[in-house]
Protein backbone atom coordinates (compact mmCIF):
# COMPACT_ATOMS: atom_id res chain seq x y z
CA UNK A 1 0.00 0.00 0.00
CA UNK A 2 2.75 2.38 0.80
CA UNK A 3 4.30 2.01 -2.61
CA UNK A 4 1.31 3.81 -4.02
CA UNK A 5 3.24 6.87 -2.93
CA UNK A 6 5.62 7.02 -5.81
CA UNK A 7 7.38 10.20 -6.77
CA UNK A 8 5.89 11.98 -9.77
CA UNK A 9 8.94 11.36 -11.93
CA UNK A 10 8.23 8.01 -13.49
CA UNK A 11 10.97 6.82 -15.80
CA UNK A 12 8.98 3.84 -17.05
CA UNK A 13 6.14 6.01 -18.25
CA UNK A 14 8.24 8.91 -19.40
CA UNK A 15 8.31 9.52 -23.08
CA UNK A 16 10.88 7.12 -24.54
CA UNK A 17 10.44 8.32 -28.07
CA UNK A 18 12.18 11.65 -28.10
CA UNK A 19 15.61 10.07 -28.07
CA UNK A 20 14.79 7.85 -31.01
CA UNK A 21 13.84 10.79 -33.15
CA UNK A 22 16.28 12.07 -35.71
CA UNK A 23 19.38 13.93 -34.72
CA UNK A 24 18.48 17.24 -36.27
CA UNK A 25 16.16 17.95 -33.35
CA UNK A 26 17.49 20.56 -31.02
CA UNK A 27 18.03 19.34 -27.46
CA UNK A 28 15.21 21.63 -26.37
CA UNK A 29 12.77 19.74 -28.52
CA UNK A 30 13.41 16.66 -26.43
CA UNK A 31 11.34 18.08 -23.59
CA UNK A 32 9.55 14.85 -22.82
CA UNK A 33 6.41 16.18 -21.22
CA UNK A 34 4.81 19.51 -21.85
CA UNK A 35 3.78 21.72 -18.98
CA UNK A 36 0.22 20.50 -19.29
CA UNK A 37 1.12 16.85 -18.98
CA UNK A 38 3.37 17.41 -16.01
CA UNK A 39 0.74 19.52 -14.30
CA UNK A 40 -1.75 16.72 -14.87
CA UNK A 41 0.47 14.13 -13.21
CA UNK A 42 1.19 16.40 -10.29
CA UNK A 43 -2.47 17.18 -9.85
CA UNK A 44 -3.39 13.50 -10.05
CA UNK A 45 -1.00 12.49 -7.32
CA UNK A 46 -1.84 15.49 -5.22
CA UNK A 47 -5.56 14.76 -5.38
CA UNK A 48 -5.08 11.13 -4.41
CA UNK A 49 -2.57 11.77 -1.68
CA UNK A 50 -5.01 12.30 1.23
CA UNK A 51 -7.03 9.20 0.38
CA UNK A 52 -3.88 7.11 -0.03
CA UNK A 53 -2.38 8.39 3.20
CA UNK A 54 -5.47 7.63 5.25
CA UNK A 55 -5.99 4.20 3.76
CA UNK A 56 -2.33 3.34 4.23
CA UNK A 57 -2.30 4.56 7.83
CA UNK A 58 -5.63 3.16 9.00
CA UNK A 59 -5.83 -0.02 6.93
CA UNK A 60 -2.41 -0.81 5.49
CA UNK A 61 -0.26 -0.36 8.54
CA UNK A 62 -2.69 -2.01 11.01
CA UNK A 63 -3.02 -5.12 8.89
CA UNK A 64 0.75 -5.53 8.90
CA UNK A 65 0.79 -4.80 12.59
CA UNK A 66 -1.87 -7.43 13.24
CA UNK A 67 0.28 -10.04 11.53
CA UNK A 68 3.08 -9.05 13.92
CA UNK A 69 0.71 -9.17 16.90
CA UNK A 70 -0.50 -12.61 15.88
CA UNK A 71 3.03 -13.91 16.32
CA UNK A 72 3.17 -12.75 19.94
CA UNK A 73 1.86 -14.10 23.14
CA UNK A 74 0.11 -10.91 24.14
CA UNK A 75 -2.64 -10.92 26.75
CA UNK A 76 -3.50 -7.55 28.28
CA UNK A 77 -4.45 -9.35 31.50
CA UNK A 78 -0.89 -10.63 31.76
CA UNK A 79 1.20 -7.97 29.97
CA UNK A 80 4.43 -9.21 31.60
CA UNK A 81 4.29 -12.49 29.79
CA UNK A 82 4.38 -10.93 26.33
CA UNK A 83 6.84 -12.62 24.02
CA UNK A 84 7.40 -13.72 20.45
CA UNK A 85 5.95 -17.19 19.95
CA UNK A 86 6.01 -17.67 16.20
CA UNK A 87 3.08 -19.65 14.91
CA UNK A 88 1.97 -20.93 18.32
CA UNK A 89 -1.19 -18.80 18.30
CA UNK A 90 -2.18 -20.25 14.94
CA UNK A 91 -1.79 -23.76 16.29
CA UNK A 92 -3.90 -22.81 19.30
CA UNK A 93 -6.69 -21.31 17.24
CA UNK A 94 -6.74 -23.92 14.50
CA UNK A 95 -6.90 -26.77 16.98
CA UNK A 96 -9.68 -25.14 18.95
CA UNK A 97 -13.19 -26.58 18.50
CA UNK A 98 -14.78 -23.18 19.23
CA UNK A 99 -12.99 -21.68 16.26
CA UNK A 100 -14.16 -24.42 13.92
CA UNK A 101 -17.69 -24.23 15.29
CA UNK A 102 -17.69 -20.47 14.65
CA UNK A 103 -16.33 -21.08 11.17
CA UNK A 104 -19.09 -23.55 10.35
CA UNK A 105 -21.74 -21.25 11.79
CA UNK A 106 -20.40 -18.40 9.66
CA UNK A 107 -20.24 -20.51 6.52
CA UNK A 108 -23.74 -21.86 7.14
CA UNK A 109 -25.23 -18.41 7.64
CA UNK A 110 -23.34 -17.10 4.61
CA UNK A 111 -24.34 -19.88 2.25
CA UNK A 112 -27.98 -20.04 3.30
CA UNK A 113 -28.55 -16.30 3.41
CA UNK A 114 -26.80 -15.59 0.09
CA UNK A 115 -28.66 -18.43 -1.64
CA UNK A 116 -32.05 -17.30 -0.36
CA UNK A 117 -31.23 -13.67 -1.08
CA UNK A 118 -30.34 -14.49 -4.67
CA UNK A 119 -33.77 -16.00 -5.31
CA UNK A 120 -35.68 -13.45 -3.27
CA UNK A 121 -33.58 -10.58 -4.57
CA UNK A 122 -34.18 -11.64 -8.17
CA UNK A 123 -37.93 -11.72 -7.56
CA UNK A 124 -37.78 -8.33 -5.91
CA UNK A 125 -35.64 -6.94 -8.71
CA UNK A 126 -38.13 -8.16 -11.30
CA UNK A 127 -41.00 -6.60 -9.36
CA UNK A 128 -39.17 -3.28 -9.02
CA UNK A 129 -38.11 -3.33 -12.66
CA UNK A 130 -41.36 -4.31 -14.31
CA UNK A 131 -44.15 -3.26 -11.98
CA UNK A 132 -46.89 -1.32 -13.70
CA UNK A 133 -48.07 0.53 -10.62
CA UNK A 134 -46.45 2.24 -7.68
CA UNK A 135 -42.84 1.79 -8.70
CA UNK A 136 -41.72 4.69 -6.49
CA UNK A 137 -43.41 3.28 -3.41
CA UNK A 138 -41.93 -0.16 -3.94
CA UNK A 139 -38.42 1.17 -4.43
CA UNK A 140 -38.67 3.52 -1.50
CA UNK A 141 -39.89 0.85 0.87
CA UNK A 142 -37.26 -1.68 -0.20
CA UNK A 143 -34.58 0.86 0.62
CA UNK A 144 -35.66 0.92 4.24
CA UNK A 145 -34.21 -2.48 5.17
CA UNK A 146 -31.02 -1.47 3.36
CA UNK A 147 -30.69 1.83 5.18
CA UNK A 148 -31.91 0.97 8.64
CA UNK A 149 -29.32 0.54 11.36
CA UNK A 150 -28.64 -3.19 11.66
CA UNK A 151 -28.78 -3.06 15.43
CA UNK A 152 -32.25 -1.51 15.32
CA UNK A 153 -33.52 -4.21 12.99
CA UNK A 154 -31.89 -6.85 15.16
CA UNK A 155 -33.69 -5.54 18.24
CA UNK A 156 -36.98 -5.60 16.36
CA UNK A 157 -36.41 -9.25 15.52
CA UNK A 158 -35.26 -10.04 19.04
CA UNK A 159 -38.41 -8.66 20.60
CA UNK A 160 -40.53 -10.28 17.95
CA UNK A 161 -39.15 -13.70 18.88
CA UNK A 162 -39.06 -13.16 22.63
CA UNK A 163 -41.93 -14.94 24.39
CA UNK A 164 -44.04 -12.48 26.33
CA UNK A 165 -43.15 -9.54 24.11
CA UNK A 166 -43.25 -10.70 20.53
CA UNK A 167 -45.91 -11.56 18.05
CA UNK A 168 -43.76 -14.12 16.21
CA UNK A 169 -42.89 -16.01 19.36
CA UNK A 170 -46.59 -16.64 19.97
CA UNK A 171 -47.81 -17.22 16.45
CA UNK A 172 -44.92 -19.01 14.75
CA UNK A 173 -42.92 -20.59 17.53
CA UNK A 174 -45.88 -21.41 19.75
CA UNK A 175 -44.40 -19.62 22.74
CA UNK A 176 -41.01 -21.37 22.64
CA UNK A 177 -38.01 -19.21 23.43
CA UNK A 178 -36.37 -19.84 20.06
CA UNK A 179 -33.35 -17.67 20.79
CA UNK A 180 -32.14 -20.02 23.50
CA UNK A 181 -31.44 -22.96 21.24
CA UNK A 182 -28.63 -23.28 18.74
CA UNK A 183 -30.29 -24.22 15.46
CA UNK A 184 -33.42 -22.05 15.83
CA UNK A 185 -31.19 -19.16 16.86
CA UNK A 186 -29.09 -19.53 13.76
CA UNK A 187 -32.24 -19.65 11.67
CA UNK A 188 -33.52 -16.44 13.24
CA UNK A 189 -30.17 -14.74 12.69
CA UNK A 190 -30.15 -15.89 9.07
CA UNK A 191 -33.68 -14.58 8.58
CA UNK A 192 -32.75 -11.21 10.03
CA UNK A 193 -29.73 -11.08 7.72
CA UNK A 194 -31.83 -12.00 4.71
CA UNK A 195 -34.43 -9.35 5.53
CA UNK A 196 -31.81 -6.66 5.89
CA UNK A 197 -29.71 -7.32 2.81
CA UNK A 198 -32.08 -8.72 0.19
CA UNK A 199 -32.90 -5.19 -1.01
CA UNK A 200 -29.22 -4.49 -1.65
CA UNK A 201 -28.98 -7.68 -3.69
CA UNK A 202 -32.18 -6.75 -5.49
CA UNK A 203 -30.86 -3.30 -6.38
CA UNK A 204 -27.67 -4.72 -7.84
CA UNK A 205 -29.68 -7.26 -9.81
CA UNK A 206 -32.06 -4.56 -10.96
CA UNK A 207 -29.12 -2.65 -12.40
CA UNK A 208 -28.27 -5.83 -14.29
CA UNK A 209 -31.86 -6.15 -15.49
CA UNK A 210 -31.74 -2.63 -16.83
CA UNK A 211 -28.90 -3.75 -19.09
CA UNK A 212 -31.10 -6.38 -20.78
CA UNK A 213 -32.47 -4.65 -23.88
CA UNK A 214 -36.25 -4.78 -24.17
CA UNK A 215 -35.90 -5.65 -27.84
CA UNK A 216 -34.02 -8.78 -26.93
CA UNK A 217 -36.95 -9.99 -24.84
CA UNK A 218 -39.39 -9.06 -27.57
CA UNK A 219 -37.29 -10.98 -30.09
CA UNK A 220 -37.24 -14.00 -27.78
CA UNK A 221 -41.01 -13.78 -27.39
CA UNK A 222 -41.38 -13.67 -31.18
CA UNK A 223 -39.11 -16.70 -31.39
CA UNK A 224 -41.59 -18.54 -29.21
CA UNK A 225 -39.95 -18.41 -25.79
CA UNK A 226 -42.23 -18.65 -22.76
CA UNK A 227 -41.84 -16.20 -19.91
CA UNK A 228 -39.76 -18.69 -17.96
CA UNK A 229 -37.56 -19.42 -20.99
CA UNK A 230 -37.09 -15.70 -21.57
CA UNK A 231 -35.93 -15.42 -17.99
CA UNK A 232 -33.55 -18.38 -17.97
CA UNK A 233 -32.30 -18.28 -21.55
CA UNK A 234 -32.09 -14.55 -22.20
CA UNK A 235 -32.21 -12.45 -19.05
CA UNK A 236 -30.00 -14.51 -16.76
CA UNK A 237 -27.16 -15.03 -19.28
CA UNK A 238 -27.15 -11.36 -20.26
CA UNK A 239 -27.11 -10.16 -16.66
CA UNK A 240 -24.65 -12.78 -15.49
CA UNK A 241 -21.89 -10.25 -14.70
CA UNK A 242 -24.28 -8.29 -12.47
CA UNK A 243 -25.34 -11.50 -10.71
CA UNK A 244 -21.75 -12.48 -10.02
CA UNK A 245 -20.86 -9.05 -8.68
CA UNK A 246 -23.90 -9.11 -6.41
CA UNK A 247 -23.00 -12.60 -5.19
CA UNK A 248 -19.41 -11.66 -4.48
CA UNK A 249 -20.35 -8.51 -2.61
CA UNK A 250 -22.98 -10.23 -0.53
CA UNK A 251 -20.86 -13.31 0.21
CA UNK A 252 -18.00 -11.23 1.55
CA UNK A 253 -20.44 -9.08 3.47
CA UNK A 254 -22.33 -12.03 4.97
CA UNK A 255 -19.06 -13.61 6.01
CA UNK A 256 -18.37 -10.73 8.37
CA UNK A 257 -21.75 -11.03 10.15
CA UNK A 258 -21.55 -9.49 13.57
CA UNK A 259 -24.25 -6.92 14.44
CA UNK A 260 -27.26 -9.22 14.10
CA UNK A 261 -25.56 -11.98 16.09
CA UNK A 262 -24.45 -9.61 18.81
CA UNK A 263 -27.97 -8.40 19.50
CA UNK A 264 -29.89 -11.60 18.85
CA UNK A 265 -27.79 -14.21 20.63
CA UNK A 266 -24.54 -12.55 21.69
CA UNK A 267 -22.90 -15.77 20.53
CA UNK A 268 -24.44 -17.95 23.19
CA UNK A 269 -25.24 -21.65 22.63
CA UNK A 270 -22.41 -21.95 20.16
CA UNK A 271 -23.86 -19.46 17.70
CA UNK A 272 -20.74 -17.29 17.45
CA UNK A 273 -19.54 -16.30 14.02
CA UNK A 274 -15.82 -15.87 13.44
CA UNK A 275 -16.16 -12.11 13.83
CA UNK A 276 -18.09 -12.57 17.06
CA UNK A 277 -15.51 -15.00 18.44
CA UNK A 278 -12.67 -12.67 17.54
CA UNK A 279 -14.44 -9.78 19.22
CA UNK A 280 -14.99 -11.83 22.37
CA UNK A 281 -11.32 -12.84 22.56
CA UNK A 282 -10.13 -9.37 21.84
CA UNK A 283 -12.35 -6.87 23.58
CA UNK A 284 -13.87 -9.07 26.26
CA UNK A 285 -10.90 -11.41 26.76
CA UNK A 286 -8.27 -8.75 26.03
CA UNK A 287 -6.14 -11.42 24.41
CA UNK A 288 -4.53 -9.45 21.59
CA UNK A 289 -2.33 -12.27 20.35
CA UNK A 290 -5.18 -14.74 19.84
CA UNK A 291 -7.52 -12.00 18.60
CA UNK A 292 -5.03 -10.88 16.00
CA UNK A 293 -4.43 -14.44 14.91
CA UNK A 294 -8.16 -14.84 14.29
CA UNK A 295 -8.20 -11.52 12.46
CA UNK A 296 -5.47 -12.70 10.13
CA UNK A 297 -7.23 -16.03 9.57
CA UNK A 298 -10.49 -14.26 8.69
CA UNK A 299 -8.59 -12.02 6.34
CA UNK A 300 -7.12 -15.07 4.63
CA UNK A 301 -10.56 -16.72 4.41
CA UNK A 302 -12.02 -13.62 2.77
CA UNK A 303 -9.08 -13.47 0.37
CA UNK A 304 -9.72 -17.10 -0.58
CA UNK A 305 -13.41 -16.42 -1.20
CA UNK A 306 -12.59 -13.43 -3.38
CA UNK A 307 -9.92 -15.41 -5.21
CA UNK A 308 -12.28 -18.31 -5.90
CA UNK A 309 -14.92 -15.93 -7.24
CA UNK A 310 -12.47 -14.20 -9.52
CA UNK A 311 -10.96 -17.50 -10.69
CA UNK A 312 -14.30 -19.18 -11.29
CA UNK A 313 -15.99 -16.30 -12.96
CA UNK A 314 -13.10 -14.51 -14.55
CA UNK A 315 -13.11 -10.84 -15.24
CA UNK A 316 -16.77 -10.39 -14.44
CA UNK A 317 -15.67 -9.59 -10.90
CA UNK A 318 -15.44 -5.90 -10.10
CA UNK A 319 -12.08 -4.33 -10.57
CA UNK A 320 -11.16 -6.85 -13.23
CA UNK A 321 -10.81 -3.76 -15.31
CA UNK A 322 -10.88 -0.44 -13.54
CA UNK A 323 -12.44 1.49 -16.36
CA UNK A 324 -14.07 -1.26 -18.27
CA UNK A 325 -17.76 -1.54 -18.41
CA UNK A 326 -20.36 -1.96 -21.07
Partner 1 sequence: MAEIVLDNVTKQYPDGAVAVRDVDIEIADGEFIILVGPSGCGKSTTLNMIAGLEDITAGELRIGGERVNERAPKDRDIAMVFQSYALYPHMTVKENMAFPLRLAKVDDTTVEKKVRDAAEILDLTQHLDRKPSNLSGGQRQRVAMGRAIVRSPKAFLMDEPLSNLDAKLRVQMRTSVSRLQKQLGTTTVYVTHDQTEAMTLGDRVVVMRGGAVQQIGAPQFLYDNPANLFVAGFIGSPAMNFVPASLENGVLRSALGDVPLTDRVRSLLEGAEAPREVIMGLRPEHFEDARLVDDTVRSNGVTFTNQVDVLESMGSDKFAYFSLSGEQATSAELAELAADAGSADVPGGGVSLVARISATSSAVEGEPADIWFDADKVQLFDPGNGRNLTYRG
Partner 2 sequence: MAGIGGAVTTGRKARWTVLNVLVVVYALFPVLWIVSLSFKTKETLGDGNFIPREWTFDNYKTIFSTTEFVRALVNSIGIALIATAVAVVFGTMAAYAIARLDFPGKRLLIGVSLLIAMFPQISLVSPLFEIERGLGLFDTWPGLILPYITFALPLAIYTLSAFFREIPWELEKAAKMDGATPGQAFRRVIAPLAAPGVFTTAILVFIFCWNDFLFAISLTSTEASRTVPVALSFFTGSSQFEDPTGSIAAAAVVITIPIILFVLFFQRRIVAGLTSGAVKG
Footprint (CB under 8 A) of partner 2, residues 149-208: 149-153, 155-157, 159-160, 164-167, 169-170, 195, 199-200, 203-204, 206-208
- CA torsion 76-80-83-88 (nearest 10°) is -60
If binding is defined by CB under 8 A, does position 58 make contact with partner 2? yes
> How far apart are the C-alpha atoms of 300 and 150, rounded to whole Å?
26
If binding is defined by CB under 8 A, does position 292 make contact with partner 2? yes
CA 124 to chain centre: 21
CA 311 to chain centre: 17
Which residues ranging from 244 to 273 are in contact with partner 2 (CB under 8 A)? 245-246, 249, 252, 255-256, 258-259, 262-263
Which residues ranging from 99 to 128 are in contact with partner 2 (CB under 8 A)? 124, 127-128
Span between the terminal Cα atoms of the chain, in Å? 29
CB of 93 to partner 2, least distance (A): 13
If binding is defined by CB under 8 A, does position 278 make contact with partner 2? yes
Which residues ranging from 215 to 244 are in contact with partner 2 (CB under 8 A)? 217-218, 221, 230, 242
Q: Are 267 and 260 in contact (CB under 8 A)?
A: no
Which range in 5-13, 24-32, 91-99, 180-188 contacts partner 2 by CB under 8 A? 5-13
Write the interaction track for partner 2 spanning residues 59-98; mark x where CB under 8 A is met and - where it is not: xxxxx-xx--x-----------------------------
HEC string of 180-238 equals HCHHHHHHHHHHHHHHHHHHHHHHHHHHHHHCCCHHHHHHHHHCCCCHHHHHHHHHHHH
Amino acid sequence: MSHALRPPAEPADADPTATAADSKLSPKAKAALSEGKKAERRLGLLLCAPAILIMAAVAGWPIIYSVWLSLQRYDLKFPDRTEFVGLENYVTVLSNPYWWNAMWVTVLITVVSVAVELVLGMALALIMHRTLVGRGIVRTSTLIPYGIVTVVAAFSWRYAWTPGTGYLAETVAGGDPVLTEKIPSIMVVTLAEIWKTTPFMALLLMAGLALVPDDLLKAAAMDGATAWQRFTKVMVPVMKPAILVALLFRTLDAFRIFDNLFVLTAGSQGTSSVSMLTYNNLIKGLNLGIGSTMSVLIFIAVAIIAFVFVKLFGTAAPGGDGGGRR
